[in-house]
Amino acid sequence: MAAAAQSAAAGSPDISTAVDARPRKGGRRLPLAWLGALPFLAYVGIFLILPTGIVVVGAFVGPKGGVTLENVKTIFQGFVFDSFVKSIELSAASSIIGAVFGALLAYAIVSGHPDSTLRRIVTSACGVLAQFGGVTLAFAFIATIGGEGLITVFFADHGIDIGSNVWLFELPGLTLVYSYFQIPLMVLVFLPALDGIKPQWREATDTLGGTGWHYWRHVAAPILWPSFLGAALLLFANAFSAYATVAALVSQGGIIVPLQIANALTSETGAVDAGLGKALALGMVVIVALVMTGYALLQRKSAKWQR
């Protein structure tokens, strides 16, 4: 029987060879799993890649057509360059404040019970407040600490002038307003990193005779630092691209880049310069791309601790 089986196997062609020798029609086929990603790819192409391409091309097109570098050169001149500096200062200040206070609030949330009602309420409120901006937020601050705001009038009745009718509409006031939605955003972004800290690490530190300082200095801080910096960079990009809130507070001038773009595209005196507006937008795209690249690298570094 064994000899007959070996003879039959020797006389029959190899099945795998026959299958491999079978001609393949149409080459390598695209997996059907890609079909589920087509709507997302179409969305990214229409609302992200296409507008970015229009901005990049338009930044090098002159008012009368043709390729020019004048639009890009304008970025480094006078008040336009100052608007970039102020945008970076505003974004950096609000991101630092949001990162520090948001991290402390997130740590306070993690210290409680993971399934508590208070945690659900706080995280839900942070989700709402992180998206609370624009005219509504500007009106809230004007009505509270503006020239005739509730708190301003209260202090004025007691002989104290807080001067909010001036500083509220400048960088200090904008930093305060931006921090209103930066702090809850930091809570939402940094909370998963804190949840990834394992209690066994603290127990191991205590077992080896370490104190709370040793635990935070040599264990928790090195693990959380990349996530903290990455979240701060995300806050920077969020503040750098914000427009509606500052547009409602600052009615004239271009204190930051988004307002400069709006002035270049909607001038009331007819001095519309679409090329300059696209060049400014290109500068913002470059800065945000650099920031988000740093964010991605930091997230990759911190992801190995969350496995």
End-to-end CA distance of the chain: 55
User: One-letter amino acid identity for 214?
Assistant: H
Question: What does the pLDDT read at residue 306?
Answer: 56
pLDDT at residue 96 in the model: 96
The CATH code belonging to domain 54-306 is: 1.10.3720.10
Q: Which of 299, 168, 153 is nearest to 228 (CA)?
A: 299
How distant is the alpha carbon of residue 39 from its chain centre? 23
Q: Write the DSSP string, 212-226.
A: HHHHIIIIIHHHHHH
Q: Residues 70-92: pLDDT tens digits?
A: 888 888 888 888 989 999 999 99
Q: Residue 45 has what pLDDT? A: 92
Q: What is the pLDDT of residues 191-241, one digit of tens each?
A: 988 888 888 888 888 888 888 888 888 888 888 888 899 899 999 999 998
Buried b (16+ CB within 10 A) or exposed e, 223-234: bbebbbbbbbbb
- The confidence score (pLDDT) of residue 200 equals 85
- pLDDT of 157 reads 84
CA distance 186 to 200: 26
The answer to whether 259 and 247 are in contact (CB under 8 A) is yes
pLDDT at 268: 64
The per-residue pLDDT for 307 is: 57
Query: What predicted TM-score, i.e. pTM, was given to this entire model?
Result: 0.81
* Distance in angstroms (rounded) separating the CA atoms of residues 41 and 30: 15
Q: What is the pLDDT along the chain (307 residues), one digit of tens a residue?
A: 444 444 444 444 454 444 444 555 555 666 777 777 888 889 999 998 998 899 889 888 877 777 888 888 888 888 888 989 999 999 999 999 999 999 999 999 988 887 888 889 999 999 999 988 888 898 889 888 887 888 888 888 888 887 766 788 888 889 999 999 999 999 999 998 888 888 888 888 888 888 888 888 888 888 888 889 989 999 999 999 888 888 888 877 678 898 888 888 886 665 677 888 888 999 999 998 999 888 888 877 766 655 5
C-alpha to C-alpha distance for 143 and 165, rounded to whole angstroms: 11
Q: How many residues does the chain have?
A: 307
